[in-house]
Amino acid sequence: MKKIIDIAFPDLDDKNVRIELDDALSPKTFKAILENLPIEISVNKWGEELYTDRTTIAVEQEDNAKTEVNELDVAYWPEGNALCLFYGPTPISKNGKILAYSPVNIIGKIVDSSNKEEILNLIKDGTKVIIRELPLLSKLDVVGPFAGQLPYVFAGSTIVLYILHNWLDRDSKSCQKWFTNHWPHCDIGS
């Protein structure tokens, strides 16, 4: 099962990062994270990794835990009871390999990294974040050639525009216009 969660940065004009969790990667960790949401906590930066302060999530290292991760991986760090977002290399990365401080349980991916530079440049140690599950809206009536193609849409415009952008292979402004024309009652911002 996959689940989209949101990390909001209230200290940064409510910027956010969407993450797709996947229970096939680390099932015990996946379950523990969802059981502990929402989480209000501080985040810190270590190279191009963001990691939270100690959370209430308590999971042991899973069998597939590893120290070498991929760009945009999201992981749980059992040693620090923390969530980690790997945007790129850490201070101990070598030879183009992104290395975590110690083994982590991979739990998903950052869905959209378009605001990577902005987030990394604005984050200071102790920046507040809110990690929360996105509610699933009821089925939407999709019109025209898209009927039946988008059965569910997650709350929040970023994920909708991400889906449309990739699905329609259009630029963001075209996706916003299409979305606004078909669902004028939804505020998707600018």
Q: How far apart are CA 157 and CA 150, in angstroms?
A: 14
Cβ contact 152:137 at 8 Å: yes
Cβ contact 44:129 at 8 Å: no
Can you read off the two tokens belonging to residue 43?
Answer: 């985040």
pLDDT over 90 at 31, yes or no: yes
The confidence score (pLDDT) of residue 171 equals: 55
Cβ contact 49:42 at 8 Å: no
pLDDT over 90 at 134, yes or no: no
Cβ contact 109:124 at 8 Å: no
pLDDT over 50 at 183, yes or no: yes
Q: What is the mean pLDDT of the chain?
A: 81
- CATH dotted code for 2-133: 2.40.100.20
H helix intervals, 7-99: 27-36
Bridge partner list, 19: 5, 110
Span 134-157, mean pLDDT?
A: 46
Domain boundaries, the chain: 2-133, 135-190
pLDDT, tens digit, 9 for 90 and up, residues 37-63: 999 999 999 999 999 999 999 999 999
Q: pLDDT category, 157, cuts 50, 70, 90? A: very low
Q: pLDDT category, 116, cuts 50, 70, 90? A: confident
Cβ contact 104:66 at 8 Å: yes
H helix intervals, 43-190: 116-122, 157-168, 172-182
pLDDT over 70 at 146, yes or no: no
The phi and psi torsions of 64 (rounded to 5 degrees) equal -100, 15
% of the chain beyond a pLDDT of 70? 71
pLDDT, tens digit, 9 for 90 and up, residues 72-101: 999 999 999 999 999 999 999 999 999 999
Element containing residue 117 per DSSP (H, E): helix 116-122
